[in-house]
Amino acid sequence: MHVFIGGAYSGKTDYVMRLYEQHEVVLIDGELPDVAPACEILVIQHMEKWLMTQNLEEDELVVQSALTKLSALAQHCSLALIVTDMGRGVVPMEKQARLLRDTCGRLYQALFAEAEQVVRIWYGIGEQLK
């Protein structure tokens, strides 16, 4: 699994699609499919949209559920995840926004630990972290 992280509108999707332009790629936006589509590389972006559909009060269960689904998908194709950096020390005032930020942080830590490669994208330029 490869993970690409960066701020909103920082060129992440363009970077990833250029990187894999020689492969059969399926791009999924904001959801975690139950069944992997037929492809060589499955790119999932905007996981925070999927997270917003979950019970964020149960963040450990949500993170475990995401990891389980991703592991099952990885049995059928290579995974590339594009995630949005939501931290940067800003704590939202609204409870739901705080829960989303915190759950994203926990999920991203777990994803980074499992990932073979982690790249930070800033203005379309990649910096390898792992």
Question: Where does residue 110 rank: exposed (0-12), middle (13-18), buried (19+ CB within 10 A)?
Answer: middle
Q: What is the pLDDT of residues 44-95, one digit of tens each?
A: 999 889 998 988 888 899 999 999 999 999 999 999 999 998 877 677 788 8
Length of the chain: 130
Question: For residue 94, what pLDDT is reported?
Answer: 87
Half-sphere exposure (CA, 13 Å, Cβ side) for 37? Answer: 13
Residue 8 pLDDT exceeds 90: no
Residue 98 pLDDT exceeds 90: no
Q: What's the rounded Cα separation, in Å, for the pair 6 and 1?
A: 17
Question: For residue 69, what pLDDT is reported?
Answer: 94
Domains assigned to the chain: 2-128 (3.40.50.300)
Q: What's the rounded Cα separation, in Å, for the pair 49 and 40?
A: 24
Q: What is the pLDDT of residues 22-41, one digit of tens each?
A: 999 999 999 999 898 999 99
Q: What's the rounded Cα separation, in Å, for the pair 88 and 68?
A: 27
Kindly indicate the confidence band of residue 96, based on its pLDDT and cuts at 50, 70 and 90.
confident
Question: For residue 127, what pLDDT is reported?
Answer: 95
